Amino acid sequence: MAEQTLTLRNLKVVFPSGMGLIRAVEGVDIDIGKGESIALVGESGCGKSVTSMSIMKLIESPPAITKMDQLTFAGDDIKDYTPSQMQSVRGKMMAMIFQDAMTSLNPVMTCGKQIDEMFMRHMQLNKKAAREETVKALELVGVPEPRKRAKNFPHELSGGMRQRVLLAMAFACMPKLIIADEPTTALDVTIQAQVLSVLRDMQKKHDVSLLVVTHDLSVVANIADTVYVMYSGKIVEKASVKQLFKQPFHPYSAGLLASVPSLSDTAGHFVQIPGSVPHPMKKPTGCYFHPRCHYAKDKCKASMPPLSAHDDGRQVRCFYPLKTNGGTSNV
Amino acid sequence: MSETKVNPIVDMRHVSVDFPVKGALPFIRKGCIQAVSDVSLTIHRGETFGIVGESGCGKSTLANAMIGMVKPTAGEVVFDGKNLYELSRDDFKATRRDMQMIFQDPFSSLNPRFNVYQIISEPMFIRGQDSEATMKARVIELLELVGLSKDDLYRYPSDFSGGQRQRLGIARAIILNPTFLVCDEPVSALDVSVHAQILNLLTDIQKKLKLTYVFISHNLAVVKSICDRMIVMYLGKIMEAGNVKTIFDNPLHPYTHALLSAVLDTDQTKQREQVILKGDIPSPIDPPKGCRFYQRCPKAMEGCKTIPAPEITVEEDHVVACHYVNGFPESVEKGEGYDTPLKQQADE
């Protein structure tokens, strides 16, 4: 791996509540190389959004208690950055694309003005120059008639256009890392295809690192190079996209993959993972996945398996990983 | 009617639903949103009928018109041999018991101040024919059917996860033994790993209770797996209709093509060619005169702008409304150069 954009070691986030501690993230390590596209996959409540927000230091503390061993971004140690120092990093060096374009854009400001702010704040441009840059940025993400659109308010644009405005805003200062939190969940399939292709093209063209947070494995298959699968606050598997879709090692990843209906499937019963995600305050002992796992043995109930390394940089948190040649049978 | 082999439970004939829109100022022209325009379809007993389309294409409005929640501005809806909108109030109420609905969002469709027993028994309570004891027995029976237990009887919706809430919604929908169930995107608000659970539950219940489903979805993979027949809608019109297998094997309409290719496949070995549609679905207030899809259609021709595309049966149980597939009708007056390909605008 040539150049590291982001190194995160042992991130822990805890939310104290009246009834006990909610351990949202328990020791997550993430590495993102330059120009790499990483996906963080998991069900709701598994801590994937909290992880991405902690990288940007957007988790307010208090109430949250955030601990990490290392957070290196573009060669700088930003672990102990103060909020005001972070402000010069956010937007300029790393940017975020949020899920719901309607709520993350300011409804009383025109779209153009919101992007102008990026240039005025981070590049010290004047109003006029900023607007020129905005028009260019909008053009890049494929907004037709960018000069006219820049004068529109968010509610005057369609869902796909709004998402493009967010993309333009994220790419405005050509940051080193873009975090996209469920970038296409609120969109229709045809619009989703549009937005993803724009995102992919922009990322490749400008050699930006990308962290996509999503629950949709089909999005992952189309945009990411490396996948981290999260379950209940822990990484359970790390693999390249090709490897993961070919042969998942962790039973949870396998179940997740099998339960996604696909066009190439023949009709019939859907494969399902029994049960549901454990409550964050009542996590089971041992491996968090064992109550839902077909292959669970006594050892899984007693202790948490470590994240062990396998060939080709794969990591799996399971005592009995599924392997075609291994002892455990295939799914 | 019951002797015939083909026994439609719902028959919609040329149904249109318009919603009037008031202009912002008195002198601005008042328009209307043509949510559904001139849709005819039949749903057979015992089948699962899929309605597919982007948001805003009128699929929910169509389903609402089917079960008598929205009065169509034109056309008629025949349910089980009865014209829904000509029934008397009492007859309508009685007929409505045979049709129920499962909603998309299990978080807003359950009253947070009702407990499980109150939620599920409400339809029975409103009917007012049963004693407290029968209702309770029935609710417990249903809870077990949908995979919950009777310990959950007095818990509140906030105690349940999304998937469990959707199970409550299903239990509520089937308490009065309906024959016809409309599922309006029943899984789109749920986690992926729970999708399969709910879909399996729905198919199991269908088999057990011999229900007819209308399944609204934008997920073509799901529709392919559970539906028998389907329609593809765009801007209030049917683009393609017929047997699910026929449509997936041989999609003819360019819109169906685009929809299919927009579904991302997790199978890495099968990366299909992607047709990415440009632009967004246009406003239904002023839909195009001709084919409604022409602005985004990669195959559009000059004539598509003005000449509406009729629905033509191309093979058994497969209807397509497209000039590109069917050719232009001969009876219609065509302008000069009607069959030249339409130049795609820059990016809209």
Distance CA(A253)–CA(A248), nearest Å, equals 6
Task: Answer yes or no: are the C-beta atoms of B95 and B80 closer than 8 Å.
Answer: yes
Backbone φ, ψ for residue A84 (5° rounding): -70, -30
Task: Answer yes or no: are the C-beta atoms of A252 and A276 closer than 8 Å.
Answer: no
Check residue B138 and give its pLDDT.
92
Check residue B347 and give its pLDDT.
39
Average pLDDT score over residue span B284-312: 83
Average pLDDT score over residue span B86-112: 88
Average pLDDT score over residue span B77-87: 88
Q: Position of tokens 């890049």?
A: A140
Check residue B346 and give its pLDDT.
39
Task: Answer yes or no: are the C-beta atoms of A207 and A238 closer than 8 Å.
Answer: no
Q: Residue A226, SS3?
A: strand
Give the model confidence (pLDDT) of B148-185 as tens digits: 888 888 999 988 888 889 999 999 999 999 999 999 98
Between the alpha carbon of residue A30 and those of residues A43, A59, A72, A153, A201, the distances in Å are: 18, 17, 11, 37, 24
Q: Residue A66, SS3?
A: strand
Give the confidence band of B268 by pLDDT, cuts at 50, 70, 90.
low
Among candidates A190, A261, A276 on the partner chain, residue whose Cβ is nearest the Cβ of B225: A261
State whether residue B111 sits within 8 Å of chain A by CB. Answer: no
Give the model confidence (pLDDT) of B26-60 as tens digits: 666 667 888 888 899 999 998 999 999 888 788 88
Among candidates B54, B221, B278 on the partner chain, residue whose Cβ is nearest the Cβ of A263: B221
Distance CA(B206)–CA(B266), nearest Å, equals 29
Structure tokens at A243: 């490897």
Looking at per-residue confidence, does B231 or B19 come out higher? Answer: B231
Give the model confidence (pLDDT) of B180-206 as tens digits: 999 998 888 787 778 888 888 999 999
| pLDDT beneath 70: ranges in chain A | 1-2, 264-268, 324-331
CA B275 remoteness from chain centre: 24
State whether residue B24 sits within 8 Å of chain A by CB. Answer: no
Contacts of A144 (CB under 8 A, 6+ apart): B346, B347, B348
Average pLDDT score over residue span B76-83: 88
CB pairs under 8 A between A and B: 133
Asked if B277 lies within 8 A of A273 by C-beta distance, the reply is no
Backbone φ, ψ for residue B310 (5° rounding): -75, 160
Q: Spell out the SS3 assignment of chain B.
A: CCCCCCCEEEEEEEEEEEEEECCCCCCCCCEEEEEEEEEEEEEECCCEEEEECCCCCCHHHHHHHHCCCCCCCEEEEEECCEEHHHCCHHHHHHHHCCEEEECCCCCCCCCCCCCHHHHHHHHHHHHCCCCHHHHHHHHHHHHHHCCCCHHHHHCCHHHCCHHHHHHHHHHHHHCCCCCEEEEECCCCCCCHHHHHHHHHHHHHHHHHHCCEEEEEECCHHHHHHHCCEEEEEECCEEEEEEEHHHHHHCCCCHHHHHHHHHCCCCCCCCCCCCCCCCCCCCCCCCCCCCCCCHHHCCCCEHHHHCCCCCCEEEECCEEECCHHHHCCCCCCCCCCCCCCECCCCCCC
Among candidates A188, A193, A267 on the partner chain, residue whose Cβ is nearest the Cβ of B55: A188
Amino acid at B16: S
Q: Position of tokens 């027995």?
A: B137
DSSP secondary structure letter of residue A294: T
CA A295 remoteness from chain centre: 29
DSSP secondary structure letter of residue A215: S
Measured between CA atoms, the residue of chain B closest to residue A43 is B191
Among candidates B225, B274, B278 on the partner chain, residue whose Cβ is nearest the Cβ of A270: B225
ipTM of the complex: 0.76
Distance CA(B99)–CA(B45), nearest Å, equals 13
Residues B198, B201, B205, B211: is their CA dihedral positive or negative? positive
Give the model confidence (pLDDT) of B200-230 as tens digits: 899 999 999 999 999 998 888 888 888 999 9
Task: Answer yes or no: are the C-beta atoms of B244 and B225 closer than 8 Å.
Answer: no
Task: Answer yes or no: are the C-beta atoms of B46 and B212 closer than 8 Å.
Answer: yes
Instruction: Single out the residue of A57, A59, A10, A7 nearest to residue A32, CA to CA.
Output: A7
Check residue B30 and give its pLDDT.
67
Looking at per-residue confidence, does A217 or B273 come out higher? Answer: A217
Asked if B196 lies within 8 A of A261 by C-beta distance, the reply is yes
State whether residue B285 sits within 8 Å of chain A by CB. Answer: no
**Annotated domain spans of chain B:** 99-177
Measured between CA atoms, the residue of chain B closest to residue A257 is B266
Buried-exposed string B211-247: b where 16+ CB fall within 10 A, e elsewhere: bbbbbbbbbbbbbbbbbbbbbbbbbbbbbbbbbbebb
pTM higher than the cut 0.80: yes
